[in-house]
Amino acid sequence: MAVLSYERGITIDPGFIPDNWQKSENGRPIFEVEGGIVFMHERKKKTGELRFCNKEMKFKPDRAHYCSAMRRNVLRMDHYCPWLANCVGYHNHKFFFLFLFYTLIATGTLDVGVIRALHCCMHSAGHTFMMGQGAVISTLLTVLLGPFFGFHCWLMKHNMTTIEYCEKRRDNDESRMSHYDIGVHRNIQCVLGDNWMLWLLPISGPSGDG
């Protein structure tokens, strides 16, 4: 499950801004002119203007940010993950989360298995040394991944991204509330999908287009 989640996190596009979010002749997004669609939330600058990306030359919906590694904006961008060689965004956030979850289970299980094997059975010095090395590596991964996974559980509970958390820290905003917090259950659905029976399966993501 960890490998499948990892593969999905790498291969699935995190989400991009459509071309009809470019600026029209009247200075508004093309989709507003053609389809009459409006922003559900208008995250404006201090000047009152809509967010606009001068690098991609498109208006930016809420929670979208420009990724310099991918050279485009990513919908509900959380962060760029070098281990995935991909951004974590709207469409692949679930698979990044499940990758952490199942990797943590795997390393924890390996720890327990190796410790029991060393304690209960007699092994040659070479065998014991190799198992000991494996235990050290898996323990190190467990110790590192545990707090990181817990942090992402907290973010998901509050419907917050890593970028939004860092923005709050930068602005000295002591409030833990997110502007997008709609309750724990719905917050989880925003990342793992509407069907709770599929939450722990790397086969579907959240509904909607981000």
pLDDT tens-digit map of 74-132: 999 999 999 999 999 999 999 999 999 999 999 988 888 877 777 776 667 777 777 77
- With pLDDT > 70 as the criterion, what percentage of the chain qualifies? 85
Q: Which residue has the higher pLDDT, 173 or 40?
A: 173
Angle at 3 between CA 145 and CA 190, to 5 degrees: 70
Res. 155 pLDDT band, cuts 50 70 90: very high
DSSP 3-state of 179: coil
What is the per-residue pLDDT for 194? 94
pLDDT of the residue at 170: 80
Question: What pLDDT is stored for residue 42 in this prediction?
Answer: 53
For range 181-194, the mean pLDDT: 95
pLDDT of 11 reads 97
Which amino acids are annotated catalytic?
81
Q: Residue 87 belongs to what H/E stretch?
A: strand 86-88
- Separation CA 34–CA 55 (nearest Å): 24
Residue 156 has pLDDT above 90, yes or no: yes
% of the chain beyond a pLDDT of 90: 55
Q: What is the mean pLDDT of residues 11-40?
A: 74
Tell me the C-alpha distance between 63 and 188, whole Å: 17
Predicted pLDDT at 196 = 94
User: Mean pLDDT across the chain, nearest whole number?
Assistant: 86
Give the rounded distance of the alpha carbon of 159 from its chain centre. Answer: 11
